[in-house]
Structure 1
Amino acid sequence: MKPSASEYIEIESFGQGVQFKNPVSDHTVKIYVLGEKLFRVIFVPEEGLQLDKTWLTAPGMEDIPAAGRERLDVSSFAKTAFTVKDNNENFSIETTGLKAVVSKNNGLFSWYEYSRKTQEWTMLAKDRNTQAYNWDRKLGSGIQHYMERSPNEAFYGFGEKTGMLNKKGEKLQMRNLDAMGYDPLKTDPLYKHVPFFMVKNPDHVYGMFYDNTSTCSFDMGKELDQYHGLFRSFQAEGGELDYYFIGGEALSDITKTFSWLTGKTFFGPKWSLGYSGSTMTYTDADNAQEQLQQFLDDCRRYDIPCDSFQLSSGYTSIGDKRYVFNWNKEKFPDPQKLVESFKEAGIRFSANIKPAMLIDHPKYQEAKEKELFLKNKETNEEEIVQFWDEKGAYLDFTNPSTQQWWKSQVTEQLLSIGITSTWNDNNEFEAWHPSVIAHGFGNPLPLSLIRPVQPLLMMKASFEAQSEYHPGERPYVISRSGAPGMQRYAQTWTGDNYTSWESLKYNLRTGLGLSISGIYNIGHDVGGFAGQAPSRELFLRWIQQGIFHPRFTIHSWNEDKSVNVPWMYPDIIESVRFLMKERVRFIPYLYSLLYLASEKYEPLIKPTFFSFENDENTFKDTDSYMLGNDLLVYPVTEEGARSIKCYLPENDAGWYHFYTGEYYSPGSYEEPAPLDQPILFAQAGSVIPRNEGKITFDKMEENRTLHCFPAKKEQESTAVLFEDDGHSTSYKTESGHCKWKITMKSSDKEIQVTTGAEGEFPLPYRTITFAFPVGEKRKIFINDSLAEGPVVTLKEEELC
């Protein structure tokens, strides 16, 4: 006869937590305390873990070994004090901020947060009382975890998802697919696997991350069953039930913790923030090299600044198919000459590379003989799947030999001729047969357990190839597919969107969902990738919002063979040119934000409510978003609109229109929506660095203007301006960077601005200009010197 539950559970302490034998299964349940508000729960089967490594977590790290981290290794986390309390009915493990309570009757969890305000424990979440788990397989196959759901909860995160930001009532899949031309409201899944979400109700917030790389799904209230009450669920086809419970005072705290947990955002070169040209049409053309040369000439002719060009896969073609690492010398008779001509103009190439080889690829047999492909365990042969153009086989990046071969090909075919960067594309690894296995670094694994790991390892190999070829330089890698941790290596985008006003509107939300899920360096295909060419108005509106995203790329494969380029409509080129140059002017601000994302885990773009959680109005559906903590962007997403309603959130100091300098109190306003200028507001108290030097295609003059927007009342605020050479790893040294701290104090009578700098990097400019709103009448002091007007220029020696 089985012992009673209270006799059955025996709590055993270990270094960073406790464990017990689950009373209703053969699992050992381990509870780790990894921070004051960061716990982890993993159910370890008696026969051992299906997957004893993880590639998703890298707490505070820039990188992890290619073979992954030991799943049960928590040595990278700081030790946190905790208390265990035990009674007849349950036991609890708690820190000063978070508590897990486990029922001895059934092993179910309840989660509590300690409120400093009320000095009481408040319940955050709990397992559902009926069939919370699927250990007896009565709910079917796979991992299942059911928790109670409250009607007033909202759910955010989940990575790259279409539709609204709040996923209440939705069912969401994590299954990487090549979803070209997706519906921006309905299509699911897309390209990325991000099993993380946050919960908000009127009283508290928390987050959960399931470290599971199997195909999985979340049901956030779409399904109802009267036998179980209101619930939400996580289901996975395989792997472990291994989850992190993240507490915090605000949603922004949870995102930053999750970003830290999965690894540092790579600090890319400054040029990666510039306009990147791209189109499938040029490289598909028979005279591709001529057309690319014409793009370069047109940038100069129309005076459009450009920092990089993403070379689509047409350069690899043989006939009408694409063969990774092949150069079509008929289309590109002299690729090195092309690369050099672009480089002389200050434009770097990022070459498209794909992880599958078609069966008639010139190097297919070589790769097969070296056993570089994913295999079918039944036949011990490479798994043949449908890929773009033809059938082929996926390279297996859990094989060290594949990684070395890949790096050698990146080096020989691309880097050696001057190509700077790689664009890792079509890397969803769509091999679906259950018998497909990966090398697993010598421990063969079903691909179904680790599919999202493959794109992570692909981009890591590309990153390493670039680092090794250019030691001391910061690589720039792009990847379409991925999972938590991809921010360690790559910039990304929301894939092959469809040209429509609806895509403009809802791609914004898809990108914000990625950003609040810890993947900060993102953007969209401006103008739309698939479908017809955008109208003049749609194109302008898309550029207006695109210039405020970390990734700014105009890319297309239009059905009518037209090309989305800045000069596609000559009659609006002046408006387009202004917007393209505005992007350049904002790069000092964006670059400082990218630095803070890497060092402080701060998102570059985020929903408006992330900065104003106390203002319930900001949780209403809106097109607006924050760029950093200080700029509020209002995209125009409705055709024909020449004014829109803008809500300026409640804050202590008010707002300024960035371009007019007009002051606004918080509230709702009807604002003009011109076609040639974005709608942009700055928080009072903010300091926004810009480059206001002369900007042309051929030359960019470096200077810095600090646009100061002082509060109307007493307030003190700070801003950071980060400067370095923009490309090397020397920014980590004292001599390789300069970090300006600008402090602004305001009262009803005067404004005081002081500056100080850390680091010894020699600045590329010798003066800084301070610009205040034109109507500012208060006395202005800069480093204790009285300014003579609203625009003041100081020499470098006057700044410290």
Structure 2
Amino acid sequence: MYFNKIQNPPNFAFIPPHGLKKNRATLPGHKIVLRTADLGEDVFEISYESPAWEYRSHSGLDLNAFKSPSRAELQIAPHGGFAIRSGRSNLLATLPQEAFGVCGQSWMVQFAPESGQQFYGMGEKNNGFEKSGVRTKFWNTDVWADFHADAFINGTTDPMYLSVPYLIIKKGNTYLGLLVDNPHAVYMGISPQVSIGGEQLKTELRQPFFIGSSDGTARMYVIVGPTLHDLTCKFQRLVGVTPRPPLWSLGYQQCRWGYQSYQCLDNLDKNFSKHGIPCDGLWLDIDYMRGYRVFTFEQKHFSAPSAQIARIQKRGRKVVPIIDPGVKIDPGYHVYDSGLKSKAYCKTPAGKDFVGFVWPGATVFPDFASPKARAWWVGQVAQFASGSGIQGAWLDMNDPAVGASELDPMLFNGGKWDHSSYHNQYALGMAMASREGFLKAHPDKRPFLLSRSGFTGMSKYAAIWTGDNFSNDHHLKNAVPMSLNLALSGIPFNGPDAGGFGGHTTAELMIAWFKMQFLFPFFRNHTHQGCRAQEPWAFGTKTLGILREYIRLRYKLLPYLYNLYIRHEQTGEAILRPLIYDFEDTGKLPLGHVGDQFMAGPAIMQAPVLSSSSDAREVTLPEAHWFSCLDAKWIRGGRKLRVKQKARTTPLYFREGGIVPMQVGARKDQKNDLGKIELHIFLRKDSKGTATCRYIFDDGESFQYRKGGESEYFIEAKVSSGKLQVKVDKLRANCGALEVSFVLYDGFKTIVVNGVDPQVHPLTLKKGVHEFAGSKLPVWTTAPLRF
């Protein structure tokens, strides 16, 4: 498998002009049948089918349906191409001649390039935010094993751990999505520049925009936004949303390769309490196991695993162990023996169990394509989870990583499927079975799974961290555009290892990383054994104070972040998103290349300084009014400006019209009461619009919310005759009443809540200073009210 090479259009035989008759065409080795379907809401399915691919298209994607009729139209051309039209405009069209072609088992679709197009998505790629000129393949890799160190430390590794062959096409302020539903090695060439030995050839050899795969049915889904917000919601609903996660998974997580024992966990717990740092998760790497045997504990590290884990979790911190798919070949080891009996392992063409090399040495691998093997894994996970009391796990090495072994002999579904037909879905199968195992062990507890690898639709089962990164500015800078494109590609719950996994970090780099990542969906500090310690207290008093401040700030914002996940489950909205998600491009202020800033939901924008040696950057402020935490005042948008941060501050902005629920006071531990909050209302005395917020809270851990076990309030605020008018509607209070104090960011003399005349029932506004993101902000607050 060549990771950095893709197919070349001149090598393909394309359907000739008028070669498609009654949706059928003949190409070398293939009798093509073109099938199309309008799924509703401007979502279209297009597939080119052939008997040669019939048994080689084992896609595990479980697609959801749409109900509303489409407004756009799908048109088929006599040469086998197609176009998506809206009114008189072509939104997307294949090449007028060479649209669909084959080369052996591989297929390709070519599209007509248009000036001004921009491209995004592609899942987990570290090749920048906008994708024009990119040549890429989708094939899950074990990056540190499959690339040279120079590439993964300071260069570009493509492909990476996770494959989502989804492309977003931007034309003006209209967006389309193109998903390839194919488990084989999909490739894309976005008008790539041809090169030889790294030297680009002449521009006349520039190729069109094309997609294809090495094998399997050419099945695609084309989605018309028209906005990026609409497109993302439709795509997420198509492939499946992230279920509401447990609240603890949104907190700060601490990990290191080397945490292996109860003593490690106990020391970490005591240090977090000593330093007043909230932390929800303490993670165990591979050394907790007995000789790296999955589903075991080393007795000298855990003499009584269930009781010791219960002791830590009773203090409010979850224990999250790593689970690898590789099973050590060791007769007498109960997991290995049980898998043999269940015929649960991948086979070779010779009919033997496939053997690879992972941490325990020679290992066999569960065949997640087989229902029987998945059921076996479900049982193993359930037994491990119920016996130890854990409520989440970290799924690693599931690319699959097999060490020095070749992958091709690793067959699936009892040896009936070749490797390429399931390789990219291996981690998806593991996540599906692992989640089912946790639900079997703890039926009314929301599990949390974190996976290294994955495929389209992974968000229904597990979050993703972006794998083994490195402690340097290069990886710091790549983190934002990579996470943004993952979020747009249906993987909203994602994030990198804060501080970097490999290499020796510095205090300056840790500060820059925490300032960048404290609003990311996933926030875990993780590092390699033998590298400098990265716990918040490992860098001295000054650095400890700054890192602690941003961890605490995340916890203060948990009510807001949690509600972003609730909204995502309901609608498919993105959580972390680029500026073009919430704002339109203009000639004056183009936003399509701004990949180093982001919105966290609709109300908060961050423009982190992505360098450990700099304190300044250019910030693009979209058209709106913004409350700047750097300046402690309101500033107008629609422009770019140069800003400079201090040691404790970061460029953080709240959008006018936002209502942001926060926890009360500074959060010094991980205890949360989502029924007692502050509502921060970002309106000026001159604001014209209305600010709204739908706030929901529940117990944070069970599935009772699906049975109505939650409280829901609708809050509306507007400025009228110099007064701030606030309305709080209780929609339901099945999880308790809501206690609220209001925090304002302009000098209103009067606040009227639910129409009550302040002269009859005075509601005092007290002016004060609110410490936030290293700044002292002037605010006006009220006493708590109960609704």
TM-score by length of structure 2 reads 0.87
Structure 1 residue 317: Cα displacement: 4.2
Structure 1 residue 376: Cα displacement: 1.1
**1:625 corresponds to 2:598:** yes
**1:78 corresponds to 2:55:** no
Structure 1 residue 563: Cα displacement: 2.2
Name which of structure 1's ranges 704-713 and 174-183 shifts more when overlaid on structure 2. 174-183
Q: How far apart, CA to CA, are the structure 2 residues paired with 1:203 and 1:122?
A: 14
Aligned to 1:492: 464
Aligned to 1:610: 581
Q: Deviations over 1:496-552 (max 9, x none)?
A: 1111112111111111110011110111111111111x2111111111122101111
Aligned to 2:687: 713
Map 1:153-168; keep pairs closer than 5 Å.
153-168=117-132
Structure 1 residues 739, 338: closer, same or farther in 2, change over 3 A?
Answer: same
Secondary structure of 1:39's aligned partner: strand
Q: How far apart, CA to CA, are the structure 2 residues paired with 1:134 and 1:706?
A: 57
Aligned to 2:189: 219
Aligned to 2:76: 102
Asked if 1 retains the 8 angstrom alpha-carbon contact of 2:118 and 2:592, the reply is: no
Aligned to 1:724: 698
Structure 1 residue 388: Cα displacement: 4.2
Aligned to 1:518: 490
The one of 420, 428, 432 equivalent to 1:456 is: 428
Q: How far apart, CA to CA, are the structure 2 residues paired with 1:110 and 1:586?
A: 45
Map 1:481-630; keep pairs closer than 5 Å.
481-532=453-504, 534-560=505-531, 562-572=532-542, 573-615=544-586, 616-630=589-603
**1:54 corresponds to 2:21:** no
Asked if 2 retains the 8 angstrom alpha-carbon contact of 1:530 and 1:559, the reply is: no
Q: How far apart, CA to CA, are the structure 2 residues paired with 1:650 and 1:7?
A: 50
Aligned to 1:143: 107
Structure 1 residues 538, 79: closer, same or farther in 2, change over 3 A?
Answer: closer
Structure 1 residue 6: Cα displacement: 6.3
Map 1:60-459; keep pairs closer than 5 Å.
76-78=65-67, 80=69, 95=70, 97-104=71-78, 106-114=79-87, 121-135=88-102, 137=103, 141-180=105-144, 182-183=152-153, 186-202=156-172, 204-224=174-194, 230-283=207-260, 288-318=261-291, 322-360=292-330, 362=333, 363-377=335-349, 379-388=350-359, 390-430=361-401, 433-439=407-413, 444-459=416-431
Asked if 2 retains the 8 angstrom alpha-carbon contact of 1:146 and 1:233, the reply is: yes
Asked if 1 retains the 8 angstrom alpha-carbon contact of 2:380 and 2:437, the reply is: no
Structure 1 residue 237: Cα displacement: 1.6
Aligned to 1:92: none
CA RMSD of aligned residues (A): 2.5
Q: Deviations over 1:396-433 (max 9, x none)?
A: 11223322322222233343121221211111125654
Structure 1 residue 172: Cα displacement: 1.3
Map 1:636-655; keep pairs closer than 5 Å.
636-651=609-624, 654-655=625-626
Structure 1 residues 639, 5: closer, same or farther in 2, change over 3 A?
Answer: closer
Structure 1 residues 164, 229: closer, same or farther in 2, change over 3 A?
Answer: closer
Q: Give the partner amino acid of 2:95.
A: R
Asked if 1 retains the 8 angstrom alpha-carbon contact of 2:259 and 2:283, the reply is: no
Q: How far apart, CA to CA, are the structure 2 residues paired with 1:435 and 1:276?
A: 38
Q: How far apart, CA to CA, are the structure 2 residues paired with 1:673 and 1:661?
A: 12
Structure 1 residues 175, 301: closer, same or farther in 2, change over 3 A?
Answer: same
Q: How far apart, CA to CA, are the structure 2 residues paired with 1:149 and 1:745?
A: 46
Secondary structure of 1:503's aligned partner: helix
Asked if 2 retains the 8 angstrom alpha-carbon contact of 1:606 and 1:627, the reply is: yes
Structure 1 residues 698, 684: closer, same or farther in 2, change over 3 A?
Answer: closer
Structure 1 residues 143, 33: closer, same or farther in 2, change over 3 A?
Answer: same
Q: How far apart, CA to CA, are the structure 1 residues paired with 2:620 and 2:17?
A: 55
Aligned to 1:793: 783
The one of 28, 32, 45 equivalent to 1:27 is: 32
Asked if 2 retains the 8 angstrom alpha-carbon contact of 1:687 and 1:708, the reply is: yes
Q: What is the count of residue pairs matched by the alignment?
A: 728
Structure 1 residues 304, 217: closer, same or farther in 2, change over 3 A?
Answer: same
Q: How far apart, CA to CA, are the structure 2 residues paired with 1:576 and 1:48?
A: 53
Structure 1 residue 52: Cα displacement: 5.9
Q: How far apart, CA to CA, are the structure 2 residues paired with 1:110 and 1:405?
A: 46
Secondary structure of 1:705's aligned partner: strand
Structure 1 residue 271: Cα displacement: 1.0
Q: How far apart, CA to CA, are the structure 2 residues paired with 1:591 and 1:529?
A: 27
Structure 1 residue 372: Cα displacement: 1.1
Identity, % of aligned positions: 23
Asked if 1 retains the 8 angstrom alpha-carbon contact of 2:129 and 2:595, the reply is: no
Secondary structure of 1:668's aligned partner: strand
Structure 1 residues 79, 369: closer, same or farther in 2, change over 3 A?
Answer: same
Q: How far apart, CA to CA, are the structure 1 residues paired with 2:68 and 2:622?
A: 39
Asked if 1 retains the 8 angstrom alpha-carbon contact of 2:58 and 2:422, the reply is: no
**1:751 corresponds to 2:724:** yes
Structure 1 residue 211: Cα displacement: 0.2
Aligned to 1:87: none
Asked if 2 retains the 8 angstrom alpha-carbon contact of 1:276 and 1:306, the reply is: yes
Aligned to 2:44: 39
Secondary structure of 1:492's aligned partner: strand
Name which of structure 1's ranges 570-579 and 547-556 shifts more when overlaid on structure 2. 570-579
Name which of structure 1's ranges 496-505 and 550-559 shifts more when overlaid on structure 2. 550-559
Q: Give the partner amino acid of 2:481.
A: R
Asked if 2 retains the 8 angstrom alpha-carbon contact of 1:713 and 1:748, the reply is: no
Structure 1 residue 465: Cα displacement: 1.3
Q: How far apart, CA to CA, are the structure 2 residues paired with 1:126 and 1:724?
A: 47
Q: Deviations over 1:209-251 (max 9, x none)?
A: 0000111211112245999974122221211100011112212
Q: How far apart, CA to CA, are the structure 2 residues paired with 1:36 and 1:100?
A: 12
Asked if 2 retains the 8 angstrom alpha-carbon contact of 1:184 and 1:507, the reply is: no
Q: How far apart, CA to CA, are the structure 1 residues paired with 2:224 and 2:362?
A: 47
Structure 1 residues 750, 669: closer, same or farther in 2, change over 3 A?
Answer: farther
Structure 1 residues 586, 504: closer, same or farther in 2, change over 3 A?
Answer: same
Asked if 1 retains the 8 angstrom alpha-carbon contact of 2:552 and 2:666, the reply is: no
TM-score by length of structure 1 reads 0.86
Asked if 2 retains the 8 angstrom alpha-carbon contact of 1:743 and 1:754, the reply is: yes
Structure 1 residues 109, 695: closer, same or farther in 2, change over 3 A?
Answer: closer
Structure 2 residue ranges without an equivalent (≥5):
1-15, 195-201, 766-779
